[in-house]
Amino acid sequence: MIKKTNWDAYYGNSSSLSSITRNITIKNIAKIIDNIILIDNKWQPQKIIELGGANSCLYDHIKNKFKPNQYLVIDNNKTGLDLLKKKFGNDGVLLIKNADILNYTVSNENADLIYSVGLVEHFDIEGTEKAIEAHFNMLKTGGYCIITFPTPTFLYRITRGLAEILNLWLFWDERPLHFDEVINTVNKYAKVLKTTINWSIILTQGIIVAQKR
């Protein structure tokens, strides 16, 4: 049996390397949103959902830059959600739901923008498909979706292998994904607009941007 990721330990991790990778991720997501606004000037991210966003590294920057009316974070880790609520919970924009997205009953979210950063890879093949589907169940027609996930480049495999040898690896149930697996599910609900790899993070991340049909 594959050992589960200890998310409580992860949210207690304040290493300098984690801070660097989080800052890179923040800049990448913000740039993608900027590019969507440039291409679709009638669209604004007024209602944003972040799946798997406990103790979100994105929230503060995205809120201040794009001024959404509502930013909903859905995650099943109470420790991370409590940390996020402690920092920003009374700002009138942030909403928090402690829920498992694989079994979450959608209730009229209709987001303009929904994204997840390093979420869909923490499941088996069937679970990953359900997690991707959940994004589009909560997204309005014409809304945009951003999904990032580790992809098994040579650099990823070497870096993860060393981390495991040194007993520094936390994400034991992380399953690096090939683009085809993610795109095959996304194509059921949306038009894929962009695919790319973030090489700036040594544990290389695939990125897919799509618009719901």
Q: How many domains does the chain have?
A: 1
For residue 67, the enclosing domain spans 7-212
Residue 196 belongs to a domain: yes
Q: Return left, alpha or beta for 204; rule: phi > 0 is left, psi -120 to 50 is alpha, else beta.
A: beta
Q: What pLDDT shows up at residue 17? A: 52
Q: Which two tokens stand for residue 90?
A: 């009374």
Q: Which two tokens stand for residue 42?
A: 């009638």
CATH number at residue 63: 3.40.50.150
The whole-model pTM stands at 0.94
Residue 2 belongs to a domain: no
pLDDT tens track of the chain, all 213 residues?
677 888 877 777 655 456 678 899 999 999 999 999 999 999 999 999 999 999 999 999 999 999 999 999 999 999 999 999 999 988 999 999 999 999 987 767 799 999 999 999 999 999 999 999 999 999 999 999 999 999 999 999 999 999 999 998 989 999 999 999 999 999 999 999 999 999 999 999 999 999 999
Element (H, E) at 182: helix 179-186
Cα angle 7, 59, 48; round to 5 = 105
Residue 114 belongs to a domain: yes
Residue 116 belongs to a domain: yes
Q: What pLDDT shows up at residue 18? A: 67
Q: What does the alpha-carbon distance between residue 156 and residue 146 come to, in Å, rounded to a whole number?
A: 21
Residue 46 belongs to a domain: yes
- The angle that helices 59-66 and 16-39 make with each other, rounded to 10 degrees, is 30
Start-to-end CA distance of the chain, whole Å, equals: 38
Residues 6+ apart with CB under 8 A from 51: 74, 75, 101, 114, 115, 116, 119, 131, 134, 135
Q: What does the alpha-carbon distance between residue 82 and residue 55 come to, in Å, rounded to a whole number?
A: 8
Question: Cβ(115)–Cβ(108) under 8 Å?
Answer: no
Residue 56 belongs to a domain: yes
